[in-house]
Structure 1
Amino acid sequence: MANETKSTAERLGYAADARALILNADDFGMCHDQNEGVMRGLKEGVFTSSTILVTCPWFEEAADFARNNPAADLGIHLTLTAEWDSYKWGPVSARHSVPSLVDERGYLWQTVAQVYEHARLDEAEAELRAQIDKALAAGIDATHLDSHMGTLQLRADYHQIYARLADDYRLPLRLASRRRIGIEGMGAILDQLDAAGVVTPDHLVFNGPPTVSETESYWTNLIRTLKPGVTEILCHPAIARDELKSCARDAAQREADFRYFIADKTRQLIKHERVEMVGFRQLRDLMRRNPPTPVPLPRR
């Protein structure tokens, strides 16, 4: 396991005991109801970043927002899955060029387990690079990479792809706390990330409220108990109208999270707790200012 001397927050210039927060809105581009929640969340709420599903039908609305809001902190939500029962999407690549990534109807696999069972690693990497390249070609100034449903973060061979992409595109990554990663072989990958100069938050919160009724108490307690360092919280803010309700099983929770994080009460809580709000752009700037150690990440 890589040895850490300074937290990411300290490397950004904050004190050792400072608590900094990246609040990331996932699934930008999934559908219009999701997009509206993300766009309003970035403009009216306390969200500091978002990540875009390049594979989805409403990607162009997200890309248009990015072009018209160049200061927006927008990353790429790398995806190999299409998880909903009645709302599907396929790869950015031609289906015949990545046949192991799609089911018999040409859609991305529904579950992470199916990806691991069927996908070829070379085809997965080619598709993920195509997603990044499509976003960049659309005028999105990508600030970071993360992984839809955690597919790239739950197995070491997929994590190696994730690390290579971060290195090649010089983009920071979403990463679970180093002390909590229990995947065999991850120590070497973390060392390789450090050698490549890839910057990550210090902590990650990927679970949300257990019920809609507990939304306020859950998030409020989490903000009050943030640890020193940079913490990334992810959620999926959206407006739960008929469109979202027709496809997303957690539509009500998505809107509850949206309402919580655009409320003035939440902004005042963050101020009272002296939490510093940061975005991935600051991590990207840090990463690109510091050249990597000339030790290449492993290739296939």
Structure 2
Amino acid sequence: MTTSLIERLGHPAGTRAIILNADDFGMCHAANTAIVERLEDGTLDSATIMMPCSWSPEAVSFAAAHPELDLGVHLVLTSEWRRYRWRPLTGVATTLVDDDGFFPADAAAVERNASAADVEAELRAQVSAALEAGVDVTHLDNHMGSVYGLVTGRDFIGPVLALAAEHGLPFRLPRSADGLGVGPEQEELLAGAVAGADALGVVLPDRLWSHSFALEGEGTAGEETYEQVRDGFFALLRAVPAGVTEIYLHPMIDGDDLRDTVDFAAAKRGYEHRLLADPALAAVLAEEGIVRVGWRDLRAVQRSERVAGVRA
């Protein structure tokens, strides 16, 4: 009989647990400032670092100085903004770049053009760079879903899982498609990837949720307010079922630096920074009886089970 992840973490089977993760640590100073604040005040459970970005040294320095925090690697194969771009750590003589020598803007281009060998080399370089800089990497996830094969069906899950197994790291691959809004083909792809992770002993969360990346109605009279974003997020939390759900956000400081960097949704990034520290968030979690766990907890399960020769 399969034991659920929440039970392997030491909680009763019906426990509703979340991990609040901040993506894009290291992308820019506005992201770093916001994420450091929320890690230090405990309103974030974890964050993941974009190693190819210009501001990653600041994030890496913080991570290396705080080995007690849950900090992972946000595996990067895309560079989505028009005015601020980043390149592979493995250089530009590769199938991973566009005509300008940067990572492409979307996952579709990665799926169509990247060679598996180049992807594996780049992802290994990103994890190695974090480890060599002294980061106690707790987990891996992926920027813009570029390894999942969600556009064309051509995925790079195999190299990621091999890397995760090699280093004893859990990976952000949801065991269930619940809440993802994907079709039957993507669900079949996910099922195959989950089976691959299980065969390698890579621990996965039960599900992966977030709210819209965009700010609805941006630039119009109907633009979302902070209160609307907050209330929508609270509704998401109230719907969390039993098991372990990672909820990922992109908190940043909304100001001139961020607005000069990103093409849209700067205000929402600021709202997420504010939301995490809103006392009403803690109140909702308490009312709902939702437990917060961390990726370090999942890593401990994975490594202990590897030593014991267990496959869940």
TM-score relative to the length of structure 2: 0.87
Q: 2:191 & 2:308 partners in 1: Cα distance?
A: 17
Partner residue of 1:117? 112
Structure 1, 76-85 or 176-185: larger mean CA deviation? 176-185
Query: Counterpart amino acid of 1:175?
Result: L
Q: 1:185 & 1:25 partners in 2: Cα distance?
A: 26
Q: 1:115 & 1:270 partners in 2: Cα distance?
A: 38
Structure 1, 152-161 or 283-292: larger mean CA deviation? 152-161
Structure 1 gap ranges (5+)? 295-300
Aligned residues: 290
Q: Check if 1:288 corresponds to 2:303.
A: yes
Structure 2 gap ranges (5+)? 217-223
Partner residue of 1:163? 161
From 6, 15, 30, give the equivalent of 2:3. 6
The Cα of 1:266 is off from its aligned counterpart by 1.3
Q: 1:150 & 1:206 partners in 2: Cα distance?
A: 13
From 202, 209, 212, give the equivalent of 1:198. 202
Q: 1:51 & 1:189 partners in 2: Cα distance?
A: 21
What is the correspondence of 1:129-208 to structure 2 with a 5 Å cutoff?
Answer: 129-153=124-148, 154=150, 155=153, 157-180=155-178, 182-183=185-186, 184-208=188-212
From 252, 256, 260, give the equivalent of 2:275. 260
Q: Per the alignment, do residues 169 and 156 of structure 1 end up closer, same or farther by CA in structure 2, a change over 3 Å counting?
A: farther
Query: Counterpart amino acid of 1:257?
Result: E
Query: Counterpart amino acid of 2:102?
Result: Y
User: Is the contact between residue 175 and residue 194 of structure 2 (CA under 8 Å) also seen in structure 1?
Assistant: no
The Cα of 1:292 is off from its aligned counterpart by 7.6
From 59, 62, 78, give the equivalent of 2:59. 62
Q: 2:29 & 2:115 partners in 1: Cα distance?
A: 32
Structure 1, 147-156 or 30-39: larger mean CA deviation? 147-156
Partner residue of 1:36? 33
After superposition, what is the alpha-carbon deviation per residue over 1:44-70, rounded to whole angstroms, capped at 9, x for unaligned?
252100000001000011011112211
Specify the SS of the correspondent of 1:144.
Answer: strand
The CA RMSD over aligned residues, in Å, is: 2.0
User: Is the contact between residue 195 and residue 293 of structure 1 (CA under 8 Å) also seen in structure 2?
Assistant: no
User: Is the contact between residue 208 and residue 235 of structure 1 (CA under 8 Å) also seen in structure 2?
Assistant: no
Q: Per the alignment, do residues 291 and 269 of structure 1 end up closer, same or farther by CA in structure 2, a change over 3 Å counting?
A: same
Query: Counterpart amino acid of 2:249?
Result: C
Partner residue of 1:298? none
Partner residue of 2:75? 78
Structure 1, 232-241 or 102-111: larger mean CA deviation? 102-111
User: Is the contact between residue 47 and residue 72 of structure 2 (CA under 8 Å) also seen in structure 1?
Assistant: yes
Q: 1:56 & 1:292 partners in 2: Cα distance?
A: 35
Partner residue of 1:235? 249
Query: Counterpart amino acid of 2:250?
Result: H
Specify the SS of the correspondent of 1:26.
Answer: strand
The Cα of 1:293 is off from its aligned counterpart by 9.6
From 275, 284, 292, give the equivalent of 1:269. 284
Q: 2:304 & 2:268 partners in 1: Cα distance?
A: 39
The Cα of 1:273 is off from its aligned counterpart by 1.9
Query: Counterpart amino acid of 2:27?
Result: M
Q: Per the alignment, do residues 188 and 273 of structure 1 end up closer, same or farther by CA in structure 2, a change over 3 Å counting?
A: closer
Q: 2:239 & 2:111 partners in 1: Cα distance?
A: 35
